[in-house]
Amino acid sequence: MKKIKTVSDLKQIKETLTQNKRKGKTLITICGGTGCHASGCDKVISAFKRELKKKNLGNTVDVKVTGCHGFCEKGPIVVIHPKGIFYKQVKTQDVKDIISDTICSGKIIDRLLYIDPLSGKKITYEKDVPFYKGQERIVFADNGVLDPYKIEDYITIGGYTAAAKALTSMTPEKIIDEIKKSGLRGRGGAGFPTGLKWESCRNAKKTPKYIICNADEGDPGAYMDRSLIEGNPFSVLEGMLIGAYAIGANHGVIYVRDEYPIAVQTMKNAISQAQQYGLLGINILNSSFDFDITIVRGAGAFVCGEETALIASVEGKKGEPRQRPPFPTQKGLWGKPTNINNVETWANIPHIINKGSQWYAHIGTEKSKGTKIFSLVGKINNTGLVEVPMGITLKEMIYGIGGGIPEGKSFKAVQTGGPSGGCIPKELLETPIDYEKLKEAGSIMGSGGMVVMDEDTCMVDVARYFLEFLQDESCGKCLSCREGTKRMAEIITDITKGQGKDGDIELLQELATTVKDTSMCGLGQTAANPVLSTIAYFRDEYETHIMDRKCPAGVCRDLYISPCQNACPAGMNAPGYISLIGEGRFTEALALALDTNPFPSVCGRICDHQCMLKCRRNQMDEPIAIRSMKRFIGDYVENDITYPKAQTPKHTMPFKVAIIGAGPAGLSCAYFLSRLGYQTTVFEKLPVAGGMMAVAIPEYRLPKNILQREIDNIKKLGVDIRLNTQVGKDITFSQLWSQGYQAFFVAVGMYGDRNLGIPGENLENVIQAVDLLTDINLDKPVTSPAGKKVVVIGGGNSAVDAARTMLRMGAKEVTILYRRTRREMPAYKEEVEAAEHEGVIIKFLIAPEKIFGEKGKVKSIECIKMQPGEFDNEGRQKPVPVPDSNFFVDADILIPAIGEFSDVSGLFTGLDVEINRDGTIHCDKHGRTSIPGIFSGGDVASGPATVINAIAAGEHAAVTIDQYLTKDRNRTYIWREHKKIDTFFDPEAEPVQYKMVRQKALPPNERKGNFDEVEIGYTKNLAMKEAKRCLRCDLEIELQEKIREEKPVEAS
Work out how close the CB of 501 gets to another protein at its nearest, in angstroms, rounded to a whole number: 9
229 binds another protein (CB under 8 A): no
* DSSP assignment string, 580-597: HHHTT-HHHHHHHHHHH-
Tell which one of 44, 95, 293, 303 touches another protein (CB under 8 A): 303
**Could you tell me where the DSSP H helices lie in 568-697?**
574-582, 586-596, 600-606, 610-614, 626-637, 664-675, 692-695
b/e map of 517-529 (b: 16 or more CB within 10 Å)? eebbbbbbbbbbb
Work out how close the CB of 212 gets to another protein at its nearest, in angstroms, rounded to a whole number: 22
511 binds another protein (CB under 8 A): yes
Q: Which is nearer to another protein, 520 or 809 (CB)?
A: 520
Long-range contacts of 998-1007 (CB under 8 A, 24+ apart): 998/625, 999/625, 999/628, 1001/834, 1004/837, 1004/838, 1004/839, 1007/700, 1007/808, 1007/838
Q: Which is nearer to another protein, 484 or 749 (CB)?
A: 484
What CA–CA distance (Å, rounded) separates 683 from 733? 12
Beta bridge partners of 294: 253
Geometric angle at alpha carbon 995, from 992 and 1000, rounded to 5°: 140
Work out how close the CB of 322 gets to another protein at its nearest, in angstroms, rounded to a whole number: 7
Work out how close the CB of 88 gets to another protein at its nearest, in angstroms, rounded to a whole number: 41
Work out how close the CB of 259 gets to another protein at its nearest, in angstroms, rounded to a whole number: 17
* DSSP assignment string, 399-460: IIIS---GGGPPEEEEEESGGGS-EEEGGGTT-B-SHHHHHHTT---TTSEEEEEETT--HH
Cβ proximity of 507 and 494 under 8 Å? no
Q: Which is nearer to another protein, 210 or 302 (CB)?
A: 302
Q: Which residues contact 238 (CB under 8 A, 6 or more apart)?
A: 159, 160, 162, 163, 349, 350
Tell which one of 99, 129, 520, 793 touches another protein (CB under 8 A): 520
Q: Which is nearer to another protein, 72 or 512 (CB)?
A: 512
Work out how close the CB of 306 gets to another protein at its nearest, in angstroms, rounded to a whole number: 13
Q: Which is nearer to another protein, 327 or 655 (CB)?
A: 327
E strands of 232-275, at which residues?
A: 251-257
Cβ proximity of 802 and 696 under 8 Å? no
843 binds another protein (CB under 8 A): no
Of 233-241, 398-406, 513-521, 792-800, the segment contacting another protein by CB under 8 A is 513-521
Work out how close the CB of 1023 gets to another protein at its nearest, in angstroms, rounded to a whole number: 50
Cβ proximity of 1019 and 1009 under 8 Å? no
654 binds another protein (CB under 8 A): no
* DSSP assignment string, 328-354: TTTS-GGGS-EEEEEHHHHHHHHHHHH
Work out how close the CB of 204 gets to another protein at its nearest, in angstroms, rounded to a whole number: 15
Beta bridge partners of 893: 790
Work out how close the CB of 190 gets to another protein at its nearest, in angstroms, rounded to a whole number: 14
Work out how close the CB of 491 gets to another protein at its nearest, in angstroms, rounded to a whole number: 8
What CA–CA distance (Å, rounded) separates 717 from 715? 5
Beta strand 449-454 with 371-378 is: parallel
Q: Which is nearer to another protein, 322 or 722 (CB)?
A: 322
Work out how close the CB of 520 gets to another protein at its nearest, in angstroms, rounded to a whole number: 6
Q: Which is nearer to another protein, 62 or 259 (CB)?
A: 259
Determine which helix (DSSP H) or strand (DSSP E) holds 389, and give its type and residue range.
strand 384-389
Amino acid at 132: Y
Q: Which is nearer to another protein, 75 or 305 (CB)?
A: 305
Tell which one of 228, 301, 767, 866 touches another protein (CB under 8 A): 301
Q: Which is nearer to another protein, 229 or 478 (CB)?
A: 478
* DSSP assignment string, 726-738: -BTTTB-HHHHHH
Tell which one of 18, 514, 739, 905 touches another protein (CB under 8 A): 514
Q: What is the CA radius of gyration of the chain?
A: 34
510 binds another protein (CB under 8 A): yes
Q: Which residues contact 316 (CB under 8 A, 6 or more apart)?
A: none
Instruction: Give the 3-state secondary structure of residue 746.
Output: strand
Tell which one of 18, 207, 294, 323 touches another protein (CB under 8 A): 323
Work out how close the CB of 323 gets to another protein at its nearest, in angstroms, rounded to a whole number: 4
Beta strand 1000-1001 with 934-936 is: unpaired
Of 320-328, 760-768, 774-782, 988-996, the segment contacting another protein by CB under 8 A is 320-328
Tell which one of 168, 518, 963, 999 touches another protein (CB under 8 A): 518
Q: Which is nearer to another protein, 520 or 657 (CB)?
A: 520
Work out how close the CB of 731 gets to another protein at its nearest, in angstroms, rounded to a whole number: 53
Tell which one of 339, 519, 534, 562 touches another protein (CB under 8 A): 519
Q: Which is nearer to another protein, 101 or 483 (CB)?
A: 483
Work out how close the CB of 213 gets to another protein at its nearest, in angstroms, rounded to a whole number: 24
Q: Which is nearer to another protein, 322 or 926 (CB)?
A: 322
Instruction: Give the 3-state secondary structure of residue 915.
Output: strand
Neighbours of 357 (CB within 10 A): 19
Cβ proximity of 538 and 459 under 8 Å? yes
What CA–CA distance (Å, rounded) separates 753 from 608? 22
The number of angstroms, rounded, from the C-alpha of 853 to the middle of its chain's C-alpha atoms is: 46
Beta bridge partners of 453: 413
Work out how close the CB of 180 gets to another protein at its nearest, in angstroms, rounded to a whole number: 21
325 binds another protein (CB under 8 A): yes
Longest CA–CA span in the chain (Å) reads: 105
Site for another protein in 1005-1044 (CB under 8 A): none
Tell which one of 173, 407, 455, 517 touches another protein (CB under 8 A): 517
Q: Which is nearer to another protein, 484 or 879 (CB)?
A: 484
Q: Which is nearer to another protein, 507 or 880 (CB)?
A: 507
Q: Which is nearer to another protein, 66 or 471 (CB)?
A: 471
Work out how close the CB of 844 gets to another protein at its nearest, in angstroms, rounded to a whole number: 50
Secondary structure string (H, E, C) spanning 108-127: CCHHHCEECCCCCCEECEHH
Work out how close the CB of 524 gets to another protein at its nearest, in angstroms, rounded to a whole number: 9
Size of the site for another protein (CB under 8 A): 35
315 binds another protein (CB under 8 A): no
439 binds another protein (CB under 8 A): no
Site string for another protein, 765-784 (x = CB under 8 A): --------------------
Instruction: Give the 3-state secondary structure of residue 319.
Output: coil
Work out how close the CB of 325 gets to another protein at its nearest, in angstroms, rounded to a whole number: 6
Geometric angle at alpha carbon 201, from 160 and 475, rounded to 5°: 100
Geometric angle at alpha carbon 849, from 848 and 850, rounded to 5°: 105
318 binds another protein (CB under 8 A): yes
Of 66-74, 322-330, 391-399, 833-841, the segment contacting another protein by CB under 8 A is 322-330
Q: Which is nearer to another protein, 511 or 893 (CB)?
A: 511
Site string for another protein, 460-499 (x = CB under 8 A): -----------xxxxxxxxxx-xxxxxx--xx--------
User: Which residues in this chain contact another protein in the complex, by CB under 8 A?
Assistant: 301, 303, 318, 320, 322-323, 325-326, 471-480, 482-487, 490-491, 503, 507, 510-511, 514, 517-520
